[in-house]
Amino acid sequence: MINCIFAAMSAYKFAIHGGAGTIEKHMLSPEQELAYLNGLQSALEKGKTILSNGGTALDAVEQAVILLENNPLFNAGKGSVFNHEGKHEMDAAIMDGKNLKAGAVTCISNIRNPIELARKVMDESEHVLLSGAGAESFAKMKNMNFESDTYFHDEYRFDQWQEIKNTNKTQLDHTEKKFGTVGAVALDIHGNLTAATSTGGMTNKRWGRIGDTPIIGAGTYANNQTCAISCTGHGEFYMRAVVAYDISCLMEYKRLSLKEACDLVVMQKLVAIGGEGGLIAIDKYGNLELPFNSAGMYRGWCDDANMETAIYSE
């Protein structure tokens, strides 16, 4: 288990994740490892470019997550897993810490970039969370990009589904212990915090199952008074523990530091109820935490002077 810290002074801070769980060095070939790191690097560089040029935290997290959604290595957007019916049901959320505005979508299909639609819900509707056919109708009204089923068809994801489609079993991502989600958090030079998260959910999921990603306060949260959080883990536990908001509350009401709050929630509260995974978090002072209670987490972080990516517990 590991609790990563990165708190050098900077005008902005940015972090991303691409999922957590049983990710150990022997499980990835050197070529696979490099592909994941390159994917993380590209998303990180996108956010850094926006922030270093004075752009907003909202644009940084959205654009970085779009790149991760477009990369089939990650369980979001193009790389989303198959549900029980052999379809793709995707979730996403984004939140602005400046005004506590948020937008989220759940159980959507064929939309190229779910995080873009979540941003539209936040900016161009009176609602926070839209689902299924209604969310897709809203997307059409906003001229969002739709793709055919073949765009989302990844042979590796298809083989995963084939192995368990005739059972009542669900699978988190690559294995039963790999939590596939992507996300980003940012603090911009204007002092604003934002968070964004996107996922394809669980392989073979049924009955319109929804995880923590689109639930504001569970898998995604941002508040300029405290912190920005994007989670990756077994969603049922993150919802039960209201993980993202719990960290913010511990900071606001008990005056815990970001590190103290993350340690308490990820390393103690989640573990106590059987929850596994991690999260990325930035507070209003620019302190950064990337804790996870699993073997690994695809992650990256940067400020104006540093940039780093990592996968394993190191």
Please state the φ and ψ torsions of residue 86, each to the nearest 5 degrees.
Answer: 80, 20
Half-sphere exposure of 156 (CA within 13 A, CB side): 10
Please state the φ and ψ torsions of residue 58, each to the nearest 5 degrees.
Answer: -60, -45
pLDDT digits (tens, 9 = 90+) for 191-223: 999 999 999 987 667 788 899 999 999 999 999
CA 36 to chain centre: 15
pLDDT over threshold 70, residue 186 = yes
Q: Which domains, from first to last, does the chain contain?
A: 2-312 (3.60.20.30)
Please state the φ and ψ torsions of residue 79, each to the nearest 5 degrees.
Answer: -95, 15
Structural contact between residues 282 and 266, judged by C-beta atoms closer than 8 angstroms: no
Lowest-confidence region among 22-36, 49-63, 183-197: 22-36
pLDDT digits (tens, 9 = 90+) for 243-256: 999 999 999 999 99
pLDDT over threshold 60, residue 2 = no
For residue 3, give both structure tokens: 């609790």
232, 218, 221: which is closest to 195 by C-alpha?
221
Q: Residue 34: how many CB atoms within 10 A of its CB?
A: 11
Mean pLDDT of 14-37: 87
pLDDT band at 92 (very low <50, low <70, confident <90, very high): very high
pLDDT digits (tens, 9 = 90+) for 30-55: 998 999 999 999 999 999 999 999 99
pLDDT band at 171 (very low <50, low <70, confident <90, very high): very low
Q: Residue 268: how many CB atoms within 10 A of its CB?
A: 10
| Whole-number percent of the chain with pLDDT over 70 | 87
Q: What is the pLDDT of residue 307?
A: 96
DSSP codes joined into one string, 5-72: EE----S-EEEEEEEEES--GGGS-HHHHHHHHHHHHHHHHHHHHHHHTT--HHHHHHHHHHHHHT-T
Mean pLDDT of 53-79: 96
Question: How are the residues of the chain apportioned to helix, strand and coil, as percentages rounded to the nearest 5?
Answer: 35, 30, 35
Q: What is the pLDDT of residue 148?
A: 86
pLDDT band at 3 (very low <50, low <70, confident <90, very high): very low
Active site residues: 181
Sheet holding 227-233, edge to edge: 2-6, 288-292, 277-283, 227-233, 220-222
pLDDT digits (tens, 9 = 90+) for 268-307: 999 999 999 999 999 999 999 999 999 899 999 999 999 9
For residue 160, give both structure tokens: 């995963």
pLDDT over threshold 60, residue 157 = no
Mean pLDDT of 85-110: 93
At 301, is the secondary structure helix, strand, or coil?
strand
pLDDT band at 165 (very low <50, low <70, confident <90, very high): low
Outline where DSSP puts E strands in the chain: 2-6, 13-21, 90-96, 101-108, 129-131, 178-179, 182-187, 193-199, 220-222, 227-233, 277-283, 288-292, 296-302, 307-312
Q: What is the pLDDT of residue 153?
A: 65
pLDDT over threshold 70, residue 132 = yes
Give the Cα separation of 86 and 272 in Å (integer). Answer: 34
Q: What is the pLDDT of residue 163?
A: 54
Cβ-based burial of 103 (10 A; exposed 0-12, middle 13-18, buried ≥19): buried
Helix (H) or strand (E) holding 126: none
Locus of tokens 């940039």: 307
pLDDT band at 151 (very low <50, low <70, confident <90, very high): confident
